Structure 1
Amino acid sequence: MRLLTDVAAIVALASLCAAQNSSTIPSEVPLYGNSPPVYPSPIGNGTSNAAWTSSYSRARALVAQMTLEEKVNITRGYTGKCVGNSGAVPRLDVPPLCFADAPDGIRGQEFVSAFPAGIHVAATFDRDLMYRYGHALGAEYRGKGINVALGPVAGPLGRVARGGRNWEGLSAVPYLAGACMGAITRGIQDTGVIAAPKHWLLNEQEFRRRESDVGEALSSNVDDRTIHELYAFPFANAFREGAASAMCSYQRANNSYGCQNSKLLNGILKTEFGFEGFVVSDWGAHHSGVASANAGLDMVMPDGGYWGQNLTEAVNNGSVSAKRVDDMATRILASWYQLGQDEEFPAVGVYSSTVKHEPIEVQDDHPALIREIGSAGTVLVKNVKNALPLNNPKFLSVYGYDATVKSTPWQNPSRFGGGYEVNFGWDILNGTMITGGGSGSNTPSYVISPFHAISDRIARNRGTIRWDFDSENPYPPYFNSEACLVFVNAYASESFDRATLADEYSDNLIQNVAVNCTNTIVVIHSAGIRTVDTWIENPNITAVLFAGLPGQESGNSLVDILYGDVAPSGKLPYTIAKSESDYGTLLNSSVSFDYFPQDNFTEGLYVDYCAFDKDGIEPRFEFGYGLTYTTFNYSGLDVGQVAANTAEYPDPNVPIVQGGHPQLWDDVLTVTVNTTNTGNVPAAEVAQLYLGIPDAPVRQLRGFHKIYMDPGQTATATFALTRRDLSVWDVVAQQWRLQRGQYNVWVGASSRDLRLHGTFEIVEEWAKHARANRGRTP
């Protein structure tokens, strides 16, 4: 064990030297490139609420009966029926915990649902759907006897436009990602399943995320303020909702590996966020014995070669304290008790497809929810010449490889779930895409393709449909066709970052169809940002839909939108540029072949639309953008008064609970606005609130409210802003701070379609405030 510690120290020292020798790292910025030590690891106390107090009391009593070897055993992962399995203590009736992927559906099992991907759920901007999504996921995990669901995902946040796993996450905008993280976590855990938000923290690219023969894993070098205001921000929502586990990441953070980074684990997670649960490593993210234990890691997956007997020895020789191991075991068991898994939790029902077993069906009525989310997360970005909704057409032409299911799951499991070992062999012509690749993929029991659903609808009208799924230049055109639908996609996966945000084959296909069809409708199933400027202004292209990664009901969700059964209401959870170069240094993952590669987040807080605003770049389609089949008017902006007795910093005498200082979650300001459906179609609008905080990006999303309205109906959107929403991270005080000064408030339909503007002011004594200017149009 001493040798392992010394090797880790040498690696850390070499990394630090490499960082200090880099001229691009500003030494005066706190944390940047140098992760400070935070020891000892905080002992979980269970004081966040009465439920945690009870869970900790029971866990401590159980741990007190265990031998050192038994305590160590439950911190170690084993291979077995599940993706991960913890150690058991049979004599005390402590079972192994079953861990399973993925954040959008159980991977590799039968009779389970393939839900929409995280990025698609975020595009709904609908808190109710986010919760119902999490609850349905949790119900399926519970039905299979799975204790821990490995999700939701806010790491990657989505800093890099071509990041391979952005689709698993929930938006590069921390407020939207946080709202999703909180609602999904609460939904999962309301079913009695432990949620494990991941990957904590700063895991923003796939290239060199892990150590290899080339050298150590990449180091994400990020300053203290950016960590708090951007990357850790959405995780706080998950912890606030009681997440009982958290998964640490592969890469290094400020030159310390994520699963032995004491600042991230002991400092931010367990101290600032008051985390009561247990930290589990990503699979193969364990790099040391003593160092990771003392830095705050509580459980290792899957085999834990550095722990086991080695951890027992470390306790016996004093390298790791007995209290630390007691805390590891207590956190794990307290989480088990907290979710009620000690009573009537189903037996593990996870099986290999090659083993005969009794089927366990857990789909329930989830297809209806999947269909609803699929439609709600579909974003209409162009619609001219009354192209959509379709008016019960009698003749349609369908083109493109993405329109139908063309490959079988066992030929290409990365298309529809299963393993992810074949990701590198994905072929663009292999059929419709409902999920991305890797451990975040899911396994549908069936897939309703777009062509399947369109065919059913055409059949109802006794119409005609013609198709060509294979040609780049379909010919001849069908001149009786009322519309030509072209289906393309943009794939992404774990293990590699995207090479491009568009592809020549798909762009050629779209343009070739449009040459011969004056009513060409483009549908893109995309794992993230997809640029469109080679053809978007073509007058024959009348409508464009970003259909995301909608899950197994893909075709039904889309047809509901195409035929107007559901008016589109999705909004873009990212910014689509006119040119890939507009993303600047945030386009590609960093490419470094140094032994200690460094990735410097020099942009700080300025990612996605904040970067476009800062640099004065006009996007093609901005964050929050999305059209529908009606129009909306905004009026009556009312910015209330800042709550009295709102001090500059949270009260230091108030104990921290899980999710951070409780005063950060206090509502301190309420903003209301009226929205009116001024068209002829019932539809939902997402009113979005952007806040101008002093000494911060000019506008930051700090509220959204989705409201369904009939024609002529007016509804009120209410935004409750918390202390955290108005604060910045003070790197000197190491606290969230409310600053003096004037704050701008904008409400509108996107980050650039800002209909109303108001202000409020926080002045001396932190309790006085000025009434807002109301309802001004900018």
Structure 2
Amino acid sequence: MISAKQLGLAAAFLSLCGLSHAKSNITSDTHFYGQSEPVYPSPHGTGSGDWAQAYHKAAAMVSKMTLEEKNNLTYGVPTTENGCSGIIQPVPRLGFTGMCLQDAGNGVRTTDFVNSYPSGIHIGASWNKSLAHDRGWYMGGEFKKKGVQVALGPVVGPLGRTTTGGRNWEGPSNDPYLGGAIAAATVKGFQGQGVITSVKHFIANEQELYRNPSVNSKNQTVESLSSNVDDKTMHELYLWPFQDALKAGTGNIMCSYNRVNNSHGCQNSKTLNGLLKTELGFNGFVVTDWDAQHSGVASALAGLDMAMPDGLSFWGNNFTEAITNGSVPESRLDDMATRIIAAWYKMGQDDSSYPKPGIGMPYNISEPHKIVNALDRDAKPTLYDGAVEGHVLVKNTNNALPLQSPKLISVFGYDAKAPDQYMPNGQTFLDNPWELGYEPAVFQLDEAFSTSVINEPYDFQVAFNGTLSVGGGSGANTGPYLSAPLDALQQRAYEDNTVVMWDTGNTPGLNGLMEASDACLVFINAFATEGLDRAGTYDDYSDALVNKVAKTCTNTIVVIHNAGTRLVDKFVDNENVTAIVFAHLPGQDSGRALVSLLYGDENFSGKLPYTVAKNESDYKNYYHTGAVTPYGLFPQSDFDEGVLTDYRYFDAHDITPRYEFGFGLSYTTFSFSGLEVSSVKHGIEKYPCGAIEQGGAIDLWDTVATVTATVKNTGRKAGAEVAQIYIGIPGGPMKQLRGFEKVMIPAGRSTKVSFPLTRRDLSTWDVVAQKWLLQSGSYKLYVGSSSRDLPLTKTMKVVTGSSS
């Protein structure tokens, strides 16, 4: 039953085309800003669309459960039987096997015999939806073999609002369209294997500082940060990629640590009941981030369905009592249980062949345990291609790359070799980031430090002990091997009968080696981890190392394994720095992939999924924020830039970036021509009016126009280009990404790319009508190879019908 309050907020989604629609009493966005709108009651899942059969089965099972059995589905229990991050108890008499929930979005964590895949930021830099799907498919297969029912990923929040955010590397991009497209493909791949994806962190979770409540020196509780976001920005930016993942069918959403407009993310009725379950028709279940539950009755009524990892403090027996005394209606518990069981059915986890929960998840991989080999030989091409395609070449002076039959290569820098002690993040079952096998350049430990909240900035930027293939924290995992760059270069020297020499100490001084080398490769990195925001976007030590080598070596090539945006202006204009590669976080095939690119066996095709500035001051939200007021107990972060993040901000303020969003070089060249708008639907209603299924009103996804263009490979080497379309929507930012296609083109050949534009792609959020508004007017189209290299432009006219 939908309440009058929900009807007022979401009436637009319940109206019929051509009929008068009810409007809320909202007249401006300030109604939402800083104060979360209450939306009750929590709507029951409808089983809409392809969820119908799963809901029918789930309702039948739940109807046979006792109150205690239904209650037991809603919270995790501590266990030492396996290494799952969270466990839901089985109901053996009804055939429900229970659930293992396990990290994370880049591969199975804290276990062996699994692969270490390219991280989210790396696959985002590939701009390849097909590759994202295949990566999800093979990861999903590994989770399944390990007896995992819910994989805790992919990540689309944080969305990179804070340039130095510690978890930006876990997600694909700072842009909601690119991030959403990659996430949707990942969800489809994962869930094609029968594993439920937990898309996270919902919502506006943009920094690690103050992410959880803490206790200060006066024994006072300092609340988690409140992300204060207006309604328009919420829809057009932060909700966008989640909506894509919902449309793709995700069975789970993880709510976040932060507060949203001063209400905790996991008991926020506006975001959970209103946005997620009413407006977007979510049929699956909501789970907390670990220990993100802060109430019992309130969180249940606000739309939370499952508490992790241990829900005994707020729910457990307390929740049973809340049901029996009427504080929470049993219908709410029935809906929670139905949503959970429906997701289990929808993925086919009731099949007797699905592995037992957590069967391959040892509690501690350093102890004897049963080996469950989840490695799949068929995944090898995807692992390798994923590693290759996430590398972005941003500078290549005088064709320094590819290397032309070098006789002697010298290698410098701490990031070139394999880690000294552990596999990358091989100690992921340890809590502290400095125990993950990475030694920071400078680490100032404050007595207030805990693994869940950091109250002071820390200079934790460089992984000195070896090459960076994955970031730190719950998104990390350990592969069966690591191909480090230096190892792969030595193998190449063996094959070519050439010489590679190296000095990976912290103070290289072999000037003679530098002078004699055909090329000097300098490897540096930029580390990031959950629980800590980065101290900056460069470090003086690494920049000085590059310039020291370049002072002597006239062909210095810099490779940066960066877990987030990294500035290069301390060395980019050095005439002896001939090439720069953003190598991101490639996973276990790091070295093999890089060497194939450096020698030209493979062609660079990656593009930046973020903007690289010339100066830190060019970013609106460079560092984490949190005005702590009043009394120093309630940190606040006002998202007053609205939708103007990343390239939108640079465009709006006419700031020239060092390397723009979407930029990346190749060993060949491309041209664009023949921009055409092949079809535009005229007379379409201004507002969507279709039925609500998971992902929102179904007609939001209708194609309104189709744009085509021709891309030609004008060089002498086959290569892949990412054709990008940006739209100037009336009244919005100068331009916004609204489509991309990655196409492989032989030398001298051409191909046509097509961009279908949906109603949602061309709409803005109307805060009064509480609908996506498609305006009549002129829409500027831009097509090209990056957000600043858009040679094709055209104006498209849209004429809408009336919708009173």
Q: TM-score range by the shorter chain?
A: over 0.9
Equivalent positions of 1:591-606 (< 5 A) are: 592=628, 594-606=632-644
Deviations 1:189-232 (A, max 9, x none): 00000001000111000000100103110100000010000001
Equivalent positions of 1:567-582 (< 5 A) are: 567-582=603-618
Whether the 8 Å CA contact 1:414–1:426 is kept in 2: the answer is no
Whether the 8 Å CA contact 1:194–1:335 is kept in 2: the answer is yes
Residue 697 in structure 1 maps to residue 709 in structure 2: no
Residue in 1 aligned with 2:468? 433
Q: 1:276 to 1:423 in 2, by over 3 A?
A: farther
Residue 468 in structure 1 maps to residue 469 in structure 2: no
Deviations 1:5-33 (A, max 9, x none): xxxxxxxxxxxxxxxxxxxxx99613110
Residue 328 in structure 1 maps to residue 336 in structure 2: yes
**How far apart in 2 are the matches of 1:182 and 1:323?**
31
Shift of 1:76: 1.1
Q: What is the aligned counterpart of 2:240 among 233, 237, 259?
A: 233
Whether the 8 Å CA contact 1:416–1:434 is kept in 2: the answer is no
Residue in 2 aligned with 1:17? none
**How far apart in 2 are the matches of 1:764 and 1:359?**
61
Q: Give the secondary structure class of the aligned counterpart of 2:696.
A: coil
Deviations 1:240-285 (A, max 9, x none): 1110011000010000000000000000000111000000011000
Whether the 8 Å CA contact 2:682–2:798 is kept in 1: the answer is no
Shift of 1:314: 0.6
Deviations 1:639-684 (A, max 9, x none): 2332244110012xx3200011110111111000001001101100
Equivalent positions of 1:93-242 (< 5 A) are: 93-214=95-216, 215-242=222-249
Residue in 2 aligned with 1:609? 647
Deviations 1:683-716 (A, max 9, x none): 0000100000011100000010111011110001
Q: Give the secondary structure class of the aligned counterpart of 1:196.
A: strand
When structure 1 is superposed on structure 2, of 635-644 and 392-401 the one drifting more is: 635-644
Shift of 1:357: 2.8
Residue 288 in structure 1 maps to residue 295 in structure 2: yes
Whether the 8 Å CA contact 2:611–2:657 is kept in 1: the answer is yes
Deviations 1:406-437 (A, max 9, x none): 32227xx6377443423477333211000111
Deviations 1:268-320 (A, max 9, x none): 00011100000001100000000000000000001111001111111111110
Residue in 2 aligned with 1:721? 757
**How far apart in 2 are the matches of 1:89 and 1:331?**
16
Equivalent positions of 1:548-559 (< 5 A) are: 548-559=584-595
**How far apart in 2 are the matches of 1:640 and 1:164?**
43
Q: Give the secondary structure class of the aligned counterpart of 2:126.
A: coil
| Ranges in structure 2 where 5+ consecutive residues have no aligned partner | 1-26, 217-221, 441-461
One-letter code of the match for 2:198?
A: A
Whether the 8 Å CA contact 1:415–1:437 is kept in 2: the answer is no
**How far apart in 2 are the matches of 1:355 and 1:315?**
42
One-letter code of the match for 2:60?
A: A
* Off by >4 Å, runs of 4+ in structure 1: 415-418
**How far apart in 2 are the matches of 1:173 and 1:72?**
39
Structure 1 length-normalised TM: 0.93
Whether the 8 Å CA contact 1:273–1:657 is kept in 2: the answer is yes
Structure 2 length-normalised TM: 0.90
**How far apart in 2 are the matches of 1:322 and 1:421?**
41
Residue in 2 aligned with 1:63? 62
- Alignment identity in percent? 50
Whether the 8 Å CA contact 2:109–2:476 is kept in 1: the answer is yes
Q: Give the secondary structure class of the aligned counterpart of 1:188.
A: helix
Residue 386 in structure 1 maps to residue 399 in structure 2: yes
**How far apart in 2 are the matches of 1:73 and 1:416?**
32
**How far apart in 2 are the matches of 1:541 and 1:242?**
46
Residue in 2 aligned with 1:560? 596
**How far apart in 2 are the matches of 1:124 and 1:420?**
31
Whether the 8 Å CA contact 1:416–1:444 is kept in 2: the answer is no
Q: Give the secondary structure class of the aligned counterpart of 2:465.
A: coil
Equivalent positions of 1:485-496 (< 5 A) are: 485-496=521-532
Q: Give the secondary structure class of the aligned counterpart of 1:750.
A: coil
Shift of 1:762: 1.8
Whether the 8 Å CA contact 2:29–2:767 is kept in 1: the answer is no
Equivalent positions of 1:286-435 (< 5 A) are: 286-304=293-311, 305-343=313-351, 344-347=353-356, 348-351=359-362, 352-365=364-377, 366-409=379-422, 414=425, 417-423=428-434, 426-427=439-440, 428=462, 429-435=464-470
**How far apart in 2 are the matches of 1:418 and 1:764?**
56
**How far apart in 2 are the matches of 1:131 and 1:108?**
24
Q: 1:423 to 1:696 in 2, by over 3 A?
A: farther
Whether the 8 Å CA contact 1:367–1:553 is kept in 2: the answer is no
**How far apart in 2 are the matches of 1:53 and 1:584?**
45
| Ranges in structure 1 where 5+ consecutive residues have no aligned partner | 1-25, 768-778
Q: 1:416 to 1:609 in 2, by over 3 A?
A: farther
**How far apart in 2 are the matches of 1:592 and 1:455?**
53
Residue in 2 aligned with 1:740? 776
Shift of 1:359: 1.5
One-letter code of the match for 1:345?
A: Y
Residue 247 in structure 1 maps to residue 260 in structure 2: no
Whether the 8 Å CA contact 2:231–2:767 is kept in 1: the answer is yes
Deviations 1:575-632 (A, max 9, x none): 0000011113344343647201110000000000000001111000000000000111
Q: 1:571 to 1:28 in 2, by over 3 A?
A: closer
Shift of 1:405: 0.9
Whether the 8 Å CA contact 1:237–1:659 is kept in 2: the answer is yes
Residue 458 in structure 1 maps to residue 505 in structure 2: no
Deviations 1:100-136 (A, max 9, x none): 0011011111111110110110101111101001111
Whether the 8 Å CA contact 1:497–1:589 is kept in 2: the answer is no
**How far apart in 2 are the matches of 1:655 and 1:469?**
61
**How far apart in 2 are the matches of 1:590 and 1:545?**
34
When structure 1 is superposed on structure 2, of 586-595 and 104-113 the one drifting more is: 586-595
Residue 477 in structure 1 maps to residue 512 in structure 2: yes
Q: 1:691 to 1:145 in 2, by over 3 A?
A: same
Deviations 1:128-156 (A, max 9, x none): 10100111110110111100000000110
One-letter code of the match for 1:382?
A: K
One-letter code of the match for 2:681?
A: A
One-letter code of the match for 2:30?
A: V
Q: 1:764 to 1:488 in 2, by over 3 A?
A: closer
Q: Give the secondary structure class of the aligned counterpart of 2:781.
A: strand
Shift of 1:353: 1.5
Q: Give the secondary structure class of the aligned counterpart of 1:291.
A: helix
One-letter code of the match for 1:37?
A: P
Q: What is the aligned counterpart of 2:801 among 733, 742, 765?
A: 765
Shift of 1:458: 1.0
Residue 688 in structure 1 maps to residue 724 in structure 2: yes
Whether the 8 Å CA contact 2:41–2:301 is kept in 1: the answer is yes
Q: Give the secondary structure class of the aligned counterpart of 1:263.
A: helix
Q: Give the secondary structure class of the aligned counterpart of 2:516.
A: coil
Equivalent positions of 1:640-719 (< 5 A) are: 640-651=678-689, 654-719=690-755
Whether the 8 Å CA contact 1:380–1:628 is kept in 2: the answer is yes
Whether the 8 Å CA contact 2:627–2:636 is kept in 1: the answer is no
Whether the 8 Å CA contact 2:426–2:477 is kept in 1: the answer is no
Deviations 1:542-575 (A, max 9, x none): 1100000000100001011101111100000000
One-letter code of the match for 1:758?
A: K
Larger RCO of the pair (alpha carbons < 8 Å, separation 6+): 2
